[in-house]
Chains A and B, each alone.
Chain A
Amino acid sequence: AQSVSQHNHHVILSEAASLELGCNYSYGGTVNLFWYVQYPGQHLQLLLKYFSGDPLVKGIKGFEAEFIKSKFSFNLRKPSVQWSDTAEYFCAVNPPHYNQGGKLIFGQGTELSVKP
């Protein structure tokens, strides 16, 4: 079945460590890609998105993601994490058959815990 996969379910890092969260999707054609974040007790909010142009996308709070079309991947990165980055991170894809309406398919989520 076509899907969005986040391989890491729970990642634990120390402050200042580098972060990379994987996201792969299985849809062909033109896709739009998103990373959303849910901080403890807060609403889900957008971190960054890609729909065209430079495949390296910069988002809020120092996060970036790289779209690699040949690998069907959109991995999220941050060079140095902080305790305040502790949250659950969701990758989402707007696949070609969902282009109308802006509907999204979400990955399973990755819980990030940053130790101070």
Chain B
Amino acid sequence: DVKVTQSSRYLVKRTGEKVFLECVQDMDHENMFWYRQDPGLGLRLIYFSYDVKMKEKGDIPEGYSVSREKKERFSLILESASTNQTSMYLCASSISGRAVETQYFGPGTRLLVL
């Protein structure tokens, strides 16, 4: 079974803090994704990565950056956390960049920015 893990289930941070969310997958997948999930808005893509050190902006990249130094690990960085970044963050991976591939999701990190 594919396993996608996220470093924290719940996180509380203060406005202006730099926040790191970590995601690890154990199936040698090429593609990794970061989404945020908000009630009534579904999931929105923040960034994705199709290879080590390669990244591409999604639909809502503002205020976020990412890092992928190793194939199995994809980090989401909030440079200066703001209250409107309070959300559930989901990481996903897929075996390749083919459009038909299934994405496998982690359990999510619920972030509260005070």
Residues of A participating in the B interface, judged by any CB pair closer than 8 Å: 4, 6, 9, 32, 36, 43-46, 49, 51, 90, 92, 94, 98-109
B100 at the interface (CB under 8 A from A): yes
- Please give the number of chain B residues whose Cβ is less than 8 angstroms from any Cβ of chain A in the complex: 31
Listed A/B pairs (19) with beta-carbon separation below 8 Å = A4-B42, A6-B42, A9-B40, A32-B99, A32-B100, A43-B104, A43-B105, A49-B102, A90-B42, A94-B100, A101-B48, A101-B50, A101-B97, A102-B96, A102-B103, A103-B48, A106-B43, A108-B40, A108-B41
Confirm or deny: B21 has a beta carbon within 8 angstroms of a beta carbon on chain A. Answer: no
The total of interchain contacts (Cβ-Cβ below 8 angstroms) comes to: 66
Contacting pair A51 B99 (CB below 8 A): yes
- Chain B positions near chain A (C-beta within 8 angstroms): 4, 31, 33, 35, 40-45, 48, 50, 56, 58-59, 90, 92, 94, 96-108
